[in-house]
Structure 1
Amino acid sequence: MNAVELTHVSKSYGEIRALRDVSLSVPEGTFLAVMGPSGSGKSTLMHCAAGLDTPTGGTVVVDGADIGRLDENSRTELRRDRIGFVFQAYNLVPSLSLLDNITLPLRLAGRAPDAAWLDKLVARVGLSDRLEHRPAELSGGQQQRAAIARALVTRPAVVFADEPTGALDLRSAHEVLGLLRDLVDEFRQTVVMVTHDPAAAARAHQAVVMADGRIVDVLPRPTAADLAARLVTLGAR
């Protein structure tokens, strides 16, 4: 079964065509990387797939729900309960402890945490001894791991990660990417990651390369060298 399915999706902003007839399926339990030059449409693709933006045409189905057929309240609930988000800037609340940041989506939904899942999750991201700390007391890598735990606490159908290593040093980036891949392999968590970094995309099961609002290549088991070469080719067009 597919966690995310886009069918003939287009998106225009006035005269600008950001997506052009894009179709894409993301099977459950897989890690997909989305790459492309600046302006290729990769961020727009993620925003439409995650229900953050509305396509001009086509359909987007997440966890069996056709987002286009949902009213705004139902769409908000879908994003809150079935979709996790990881951003470059972490987006943690500075005044809250790490524990409160991680469980924030559940409290917003009026749900109590599953204690066993929460314990397993914070242990897996290596933060069991940091839960009472505030974000400013942690390294960038620790903050991003907390953001990943927050994205997973609701057991979402899919996690969308937008340049999750963009603000990290090389060592922290390596750890975060390894964690994302491990979460896919161990928990069968579906992850869709937008990145400009071929080394990051090489952690995925599959990479799609975008240009001019279209998917121009699909690389199973991508290597950093192959992805870098493909991006150079696109940049030379």
Structure 2
Amino acid sequence: MRLIRTQHHEPPTSRQAPAVELAGVTKTYPGGVRALDEVSLTVERGTFVAVMGPSGSGKSTLMHCAAGLDSPTGGRAFIDGTEIGGLDEARRTELRRRSVGFVFQSYNLVPSLTIEDNILLPLRLAGERPDRAWVSGLIEPVGMTGRLAHRPAELSGGQQQRAAIARALVSRPAVVFADEPTGALDLRTAREVLGLLRDLVDGLGQTVVMVTHDPAAAARADLAMVMADGRVVETLKAPTAAELAQCVTTLETE
């Protein structure tokens, strides 16, 4: 399975700024609960990064702040070289539409729309015309050939997630955030979806940041960050599932 480059596409790796950058980011909720504690990280373009950690470790809050879905209490967050903190809600929404793709555990496809319309939805919301050469180059590799006229309910969970991945890519974002993307899938289908995410990085130079509780899923990444108590406590390059499982188990028993 290989994603197709088109002559109209400027690979994300050709841009200069990191896809995502956090500098001393904190997030404190009412009552004094600190979900993130001065987290700093840089996600270089064309890399696959996994974020793991026990329940309550801050990994979902990290993704929300890094993706511009939530505002940090302190520190600075950048997407595609633009600082999120200086933007009002309208400009933050515009930045997400332009530079961020999302893949969720529950797919979040619109039931009343066809698969084609679901894939093209981010462009239509942004008032942009689809680049048909780019869209055509996505359909076959993600396995949607012959499925574009279907509604989501007519597809399997794995097929719906593939459509969701195509939707995340259609605007050619600087980064795709995947939140437990295989959590609702069986093992075989999960492996196929993870293989597709891996191929986005290897074949397109796409940047992927994935939050997961699954060591086997995180082992597909180039870099895995393990969180505890709102901090990144371990960073593993080319991690193995066994290393990640041991790391998380140790944190859960401490």
Q: State if a TM-score over 0.5 links the two structures.
A: yes
For structure 2, the 5+ residue unaligned runs are 1-16
Aligned residues: 237
Match of residue 173, structure 2, among 142, 148, 156: 156
* Aligned counterpart, 2:239: 222
* Aligned counterpart, 1:197: 214
Matches within 5 A, 1:164-183: 164-183=181-200
Matches within 5 A, 1:46-195: 46-195=63-212
For structure 1, the 5+ residue unaligned runs are none
Q: Any idea what the Cα deviations from partners look like across 1:139-179, whole Å, max 9, x if unmatched?
A: 00000000000000000000000000000011110000000
1:128 CA displacement: 1.3
**2:34 matches 1:17:** yes
Tell me how large the CA RMSD over aligned residues is.
0.5
Q: Any idea what the Cα deviations from partners look like across 1:30-85, whole Å, max 9, x if unmatched?
A: 00000000000000000000000000000001101000011211100011111000
The two structures have a TM-score, normalised by structure 2, of 0.93
Match of residue 7, structure 1, among 16, 23, 48: 23
Q: Find the residue that maps to 2:61 and give its secondary structure.
A: helix
AA paired with 1:103? L
CA distance in 1, matches of 2:64, 2:126: 22
Q: 4+ residue stretches of structure 1 with deviation over 4 A?
A: none
1:8 CA displacement: 0.1
CA distance in 2, matches of 1:234, 1:72: 36
* Identical counterparts, % of pairs: 71
CA distance in 2, matches of 1:118, 1:150: 10
1:92 CA displacement: 0.2
